[in-house]
Amino acid sequence: MQAKITASLFKNIMASQVLLIIAVFMVADSHALRLTKMQVPAVADLRENMTLDCYFDMGTEDLYAVKWYKDDQEFFRYMPAGPQRYITFPVPGVYSKPSDAECRIGRCKIVLTNLSRIHTTGSYRCEISSEAPAFRLASETHNISVAAIPKANPKIDGLVKSYAEGDNFSVKCTSDYADPEPILAWKINGNDPPAHAISHISSSEPDQNGLISRTISLRLVVDKKMPHGNDVEVSCESAQPGIPEAKKITSYKIAIRKDGEPQVLKNQKWYSISSSFKSNPNFHIAWLFICVIVIKWTILGNM
């Protein structure tokens, strides 16, 4: 019995010691260096500057340095206690000015300029390190794509309000300027049109920023397969490979008229000589005046 009591007491003491050690480590860790947030864009516009922001908590430790890496190559360093607080290193596609940086204890924000879609795109890491004796490290990494996303939806030209069977359906879609070149696609009620109806895919000359606009045409003859008497949705979609945020859509609804149904033209006026006279309220008065004169001349001529 005494042996069992002794063994149980030993187990309780050991469990208490383990819990005490865990608690000590948890308290120590709560006062250690932590990177709390890294704030960067998923897609950066190459026409603008790119801001990289890193937030951290030093706890009870002293900051040694904040380092920024692109694809594991260091390009920027902040050392509050060093002889030179800001240091930059040459990395292709990464250009930063120390004068644009805002770094202090708890935060380090830098700005990149002259972005390149090919060379600036990559993996970016913020790394925080503490002074001796701890020499702790904390880091976080994010991937950033650089592109020029279209700012406007694609433009559709050539549509009219309604079509009848046998009418030529000929429209053109032009994307906004972007880099990489936008990929355009037509949809009719959400479905792909026949391949033979798509033609004249062309690219513009690069603008002052090297961006490209694309144009695609859709030509077909309205037939019985299209839902007569109902609205049909015609859409043009602009996209860029690997950039979901770049998708832009322009849609219009048009009417397909039934056989023999006249086209309704809104906000349009048609004129002819006869119709303009007939629509004029003074027409009947003028006509009556002419008749009176003719009759009068006839009577006087017979006297």
- Any idea where the domains of the chain sit in the sequence? 34-147, 155-256
Round to whole Å and give the CA distance between 122 and 94: 10
Classified as helix, coil or strand, 282 is coil
In the structure encoding, which two tokens stand for residue 136, read together? 């702790």
* 272-301 residue pLDDT tens: 223 333 344 454 555 555 655 655 655 555
CATH class given for the domain over 155-256:
mainly beta
Q: Is the pLDDT higher at 19 or at 145?
A: 145
| pLDDT at res. 261 | 56
| pLDDT at res. 133 | 86
Q: Which residues contact 27 (CB under 8 A, 6 or more apart)?
A: none
Q: Is the pLDDT higher at 6 or at 48?
A: 48
At position 253, the amino acid (one-letter code) is K
| pLDDT at res. 291 | 54
The overall average pLDDT reported for the chain is 81
Question: What is the model's pTM?
Answer: 0.67
Q: Do domains 34-147 and 155-256 have the same CATH topology?
A: yes
| pLDDT at res. 193 | 92
Average pLDDT over residues 213-218: 95
- Asked if residues 91 and 121 have their Cβ atoms less than 8 Å apart, the reply is no
Looking at the structure, give the CATH architecture of the domain made up of residues 34-147: Sandwich (2.60)
Query: Highest mean pLDDT range out of 166-170, 221-225, 270-274, 290-294?
Result: 166-170
**pLDDT confidence of 24, banded at 50, 70, 90?**
very low
> Is the pLDDT assigned to residue 215 strictly greater than 90?
yes
Round to whole Å and give the CA distance between 241 and 246: 9
| pLDDT at res. 72 | 96
| pLDDT at res. 245 | 86
- Asked if residues 45 and 69 have their Cβ atoms less than 8 Å apart, the reply is no
Q: Which residues contact 78 (CB under 8 A, 6 or more apart)?
A: 65, 66, 67, 85, 86, 101, 103, 108
Q: What is the DSSP string of 4-68?
A: HHHHHHHHHHHHHHHHHHHHHHHHHHHTS-EEEEEE--SEEETTS-EEEEEEEE-TTSPEEEEEE
| pLDDT at res. 63 | 95
Round to whole Å and give the CA distance between 81 and 58: 15
* 109-156 residue pLDDT tens: 999 999 999 999 999 999 999 998 888 999 999 999 999 999 999 999
Going by C-alpha positions, the residue among 76, 141, 143 that lies closest to residue 103 is 76
Q: Is the pLDDT higher at 245 or at 215?
A: 215
Round to whole Å and give the CA distance between 209 and 115: 11
Q: What is the DSSP string of 104-115?
A: ETTEEEEEEES-
Q: Is the pLDDT higher at 91 or at 263?
A: 91
| pLDDT at res. 14 | 56
Average pLDDT over residues 165-187: 93
